[in-house]
Amino acid sequence: MRVAHFSTFIDGGAAIAARRQHEALLAAGVDSVFFYQSHSGEPPDDTYRRYTPSRSRSGVVKYLRERLRRRRIWRLADEVDAAILSEYEIFSLPRRARLTRFDPREEAFDIINLHWVANMLDYPSFFSTIPDNYPIVWTLHDMNPFTGGCHYSFACRDFTTHCRRCPQLSPNCVQDHAADAFDIKATSLADKRLHVVADSHWLEREARASRLFTHARSFSTIHYSLNVETFAPVPRQAARRALGIETGTFVVAFCAERLSDRRKGLQDLMEALTTVVKHVPLSCLTFGHGPAPAPAGPISVINFGTLSSPLLMRLIYSCADVFVIPSRQEAFGQTSLEAMSCGTPVVGSDVGGIPDMVTDLKTGRLFRPGDAAHLAEQLTWMASHPDERMAMGRTAREMVLREFTPPRQATRYIELYESALNAASQGYTDPIKA
């Protein structure tokens, strides 16, 4: 079996999850190739390939038309970037300035596995070159593949019918970018043999509800995995000594790719900590891009910046009494999995895919998303129940060892690939709907 993965990046949360899947498949004996668009350094090994968009090589007239098309798309992308309202994240269009053709028959790929491909693939040119009988597995890392452009819809449900006049874009836009993008996606995906894989049960439910995936052949949830030896517990006091953290404080850890991302909820955490610090001395450890917001009150906040070292991440997770993921909306929450693998319980918002990992009073505590007062209550409870807290950490580690290992993830993907290939060869719709 030969699999072609596509991911815009090598680094970043979704890309790390995609790489872990790719490497789990390699370890299971699958011939897996990872195509990517952007990376600042050398690829990890020869199973990773930079994907180069197609260039126009035909005639002067076609060349000039292609240049004009690119300029229009560049202007469109610039307009969308300028239209995104400040409280939201990126909005990604399904058109690219260059064509992105890919014929899997040229290198005898059996399966195409898409990941986070925003700003990488030009939908019309990419999907038109893939024969309709070829199975396409799309591993979802957020909502963008089945919306008109947003990556998280929040309260908006237009993706279930037809996106239009997106509330995340300025109402002053003359063109309805969301409606246009939705139509382009619908046309590009209409006849494809698509199998949708979500990283959480919540994201699977949202994908099933989208009109864009009406013709998908199957839906399933396959959780992420991670190397349980790389992310393994370090004795808490030893980790604190290594990082220079005071031993007598209640330590809370938080991370996000961008600390300023409002969806990640760091503001809610900081507000909650102003209440918790009245009951117990505490320190907050953060890592991610950008400065952490200044807390109110006697709270020590240490920001380690952007990290690429799993060892340092392991030390931070291990030295914390709890890891907090206060997201307002979250497809899965891979950092929670890393913390739990290090034996640290998680206090997380009861939203999205977080409850797939965090079971209240077993592997951590859940709180109402956006409710800083409720988060403070749960953190105060954790601080005042050290025996229960440590038991939750042990249970969290056991759960990761049981349910989130690379061999388990690889086995589930191989089963899906084989079923999809068998269905394609027989010409019927496969029954993987559970």
pLDDT at 375: 98
Furthest C-alpha separation in the chain: 74
Q: Is residue 414 part of a domain?
A: yes
- Find the CATH number of the domain harbouring 256: 3.40.50.2000
Average pLDDT of the chain is 93
Q: Do 139 and 210 sit in the same domain of this protein? A: yes
| Rounded-to-integer distance, Cα 330 and Cα 268, Å | 15
pLDDT in tens, 288-297: 999 877 777 7
pLDDT at 248: 87
Q: Is residue 231 part of a domain?
A: no
pLDDT at 167: 95
Q: Do 62 and 202 sit in the same domain of this protein? A: yes
pLDDT at 67: 62
Report whether 127 contacts 189 (CB < 8 A): yes
| Rounded-to-integer distance, Cα 345 and Cα 396, Å | 6
pLDDT at 64: 53
Q: Do 374 and 410 sit in the same domain of this protein? A: no
Q: Do 172 and 257 sit in the same domain of this protein? A: no
pLDDT at 378: 98
Q: Is residue 431 part of a domain?
A: no
The CB-based long-range contact list for 56-61 (8 Å cut-off, 24+ gap) reads 56/99
pTM value surpassing 0.85 = yes
Q: Do 12 and 89 sit in the same domain of this protein? A: yes
Q: Do 388 and 253 sit in the same domain of this protein? A: yes
Q: Do 281 and 158 sit in the same domain of this protein? A: no
pLDDT at 68: 65
Q: What is the gyration radius of the CA atoms in the chain, in angstroms?
A: 23
**What are the Cα distances from residue 82, in Å, to 74, 159, 324?**
12, 22, 32
pLDDT in tens, 364-388: 999 999 999 999 999 999 999 999 9
Q: Above 50 in pLDDT, residue 423?
A: yes
* 24-38, 76-90, 331-345: least confident range: 76-90
pLDDT in tens, 137-182: 999 999 999 999 999 999 999 999 999 999 999 998 889 999 999 9
| Rounded-to-integer distance, Cα 173 and Cα 163, Å | 15
* Portion of the chain with pLDDT greater than 70, in percent: 94
178, 165, 362, 380: which is closest to 272 by C-alpha?
380
Q: Do 113 and 33 sit in the same domain of this protein? A: yes
Q: Do 282 and 177 sit in the same domain of this protein? A: no
pLDDT at 60: 53
3-state secondary structure the chain: CEEEEEEEECCCHHHHHHHHHHHHHHHCCCEEEEEEEECCCCCCCCCEEECCCCCCCCCHHHHHHHHHHHHHHHHHHHHHHHHECCCCCCECCCCCCCCCCCCHHHHCCCEEEECCCCCCCCHHHHHHCCCCCCEEEEEECCCHHHCCCECCCCCCCHHHCCCCCCCCECCCCCCCHHHHHHHHHHHHHCCCEEEEEECCHHHHHHHHHCHHHCCCCEEEECCCCCCCCCCCCCCHHHHHHHHCCCCCCEEEEEEEEECCCHHHCHHHHHHHHHHHCCCCCEEEEEEEECCCCCCCCCCEEEECCCCCCHHHHHHHHHHCCEEEECCCCCCCCHHHHHHHHCCCCEEEECCCCHHHCCCECCCEEEECCCCHHHHHHHHHHHHHCHHHHHHHHHHHHHHHHHHCCHHHHHHHHHHHHHHHHHHHHHCCCCCCCC
Q: Is residue 277 part of a domain?
A: yes
Domain count, the chain: 2
pLDDT at 71: 73
Q: Which residues does residue 114 pair with via DSSP β-bridges, in sequence order?
A: 6, 138
pLDDT in tens, 84-110: 998 899 999 999 988 999 999 999 999
Q: Is residue 210 part of a domain?
A: yes
Q: How far is CA 318 from the centre of its chain?
A: 23
pLDDT at 434: 30
pLDDT at 204: 98
Comparing 75 with 113, the larger pLDDT belongs to 113
Give the residue carrying structure tokens 């409720």: 374
- Find the CATH number of the domain harbouring 144: 3.40.50
Q: Which residues does residue 84 pair with via DSSP β-bridges, in sequence order?
A: 169
**What are the Cα distances from residue 130, in Å, to 109, 116, 125, 135, 138?**
11, 18, 9, 9, 14
Q: Do 215 and 112 sit in the same domain of this protein? A: yes
**Edge-to-edge strand list for the sheet holding 300-303:** 300-303, 282-289, 250-258, 322-325, 346-349, 364-367
Q: Do 241 and 363 sit in the same domain of this protein? A: yes
Comparing 350 with 41, the larger pLDDT belongs to 350
Q: Residue 234 CB: number of other CB atoms within 10 A? A: 18
pLDDT in tens, 18-71: 999 999 999 999 999 999 998 777 889 999 999 987 655 455 555 555 666 677
pLDDT at 426: 78
Cβ within 8 Å of residue 61, ≥6 positions away:
none
Question: Which amino acid is it at 362?
Answer: K
Q: Is residue 432 part of a domain?
A: no
Q: Do 395 and 410 sit in the same domain of this protein? A: no
Q: Is residue 434 part of a domain?
A: no
pLDDT at 432: 38
Q: Which residues does residue 253 pair with via DSSP β-bridges, in sequence order?
A: 285, 323
pLDDT in tens, 245-303: 988 899 999 999 999 999 999 999 999 999 999 999 999 999 999 987 777 778 889 99
Q: Is residue 39 part of a domain?
A: yes
State which residues form the domain around 114.
2-225+406-426
